[in-house]
Structure 1
Amino acid sequence: MSLPAEAVGALESFQAVGSWEQRARLLMQWGERLPPLADEDKVEANLVQGCESLVWLVGRLSDGHWQFAASSEARMIRGLVALLLARVNGLSAAELQAVDLPDWFNQLGLSRQLSPSRSNGLNAVLQRMRELSRT
């Protein structure tokens, strides 16, 4: 499966930095670039269940391709969610089902920094995306 252009860009920038400090800074920058969600989207119905931090997720289908937007109060989570969005935006529902989350964060060199609770949270976000794509 080919990667969306934004995901390729993410991979290139993360693979270009060596240290964890540089990677962490890059992660925060990705989080800061995440467009803010409208207040009307920050409602209970859009809250992802299974995340320790509050994460809101909205998705819409456009010409057979999914576009997601998300927000979180936690800086680290915002960065991780931004990288997840880079990986999944523009995919079809079938491609979305095939996304391998651990592999994606492994390629970015971030898997060691994913605590079990962060990993579970990101899996919950991806699961929610898959649920939305099935409706």
Structure 2
Amino acid sequence: MAQEPFEEVVETFEFLDDWEDRYRHVIDMGKAMDPLDDALKVPATKVDGCASQVWLHPKIEQGILTFDGESDAMIVRGLIAVLKALYSGLPVAEIGKVDAVAELGRLGLNEHLSAQRSNGVRAMVERLRQVAAAAA
């Protein structure tokens, strides 16, 4: 079972019947995030494997992962917000145990993202797992 912020996303998605509404909700989640400081948009924070430009800035404090992110694509920015709900606040030892494919599947994202977007999500998940594994 995912943590509470992600469960709230799942509940919202269950309430929204139409995929277009869900898509808009993901975009709105991204718009609600604070922008990433331009000084953090550097090669070290850029995620390779995404069709859009994506930056993730993970932080680990007292063994807990949090991160901020940004993308030049609205839907990808929203997907970063979804991943924040899934991962941010978890102990680094738990990050690798999260089945991102299954959890995101609960939202129906697997069927509604393009292959490029799905690859980008996988690249973001892999980056978070690498950071957590290095810190564990």
Both structures adopt the same fold (TM-score exceeding 0.5): yes
The answer to whether structure 1 residue 68 and structure 2 residue 74 are counterparts is no
TM-score (norm 2): 0.92
Once the two structures are TM-superposed, the CA of residue 94 in structure 1 deviates from its matched residue by: 2.2
Aligned residue number for residue 112 of structure 1: 111
* Post-superposition CA distance 1:52-89 (Å, at most 9, x none): 11100111112211001110010111111110111001
- Aligned identity (percent) is 36
| Cα RMSD (Å) | 1.2
Aligned 8 A contact 2:65 2:91 in 1: yes
Aligned residue number for residue 80 of structure 2: 81
Q: Map 1:30-49; keep pairs closer than 5 Å.
A: 30-49=29-48
Q: How many correspondences in the alignment?
A: 134
* Post-superposition CA distance 1:39-62 (Å, at most 9, x none): 111111110011111100111112
Please list every run of at least 4 consecutive aligned residues from structure 1 whose deviation after the TM superposition is greater than 4 angstroms: none
Aligned residue number for residue 18 of structure 1: 17
Instruction: Give unpaired runs (5+ residues) of structure 2.
Output: none
Tell me which amino acid in the other structure corresponds to 1:41. L
Moved more, 46-55 or 110-119: 110-119
CA–CA separation in structure 1 for the residues paired with 2:15 and 2:109:
13
Q: The residue matched to 1:60 in structure 2 has which SS?
A: strand
The answer to whether structure 1 residue 59 and structure 2 residue 49 are counterparts is no
Aligned residue number for residue 128 of structure 1: 127
The answer to whether structure 1 residue 27 and structure 2 residue 33 are counterparts is no
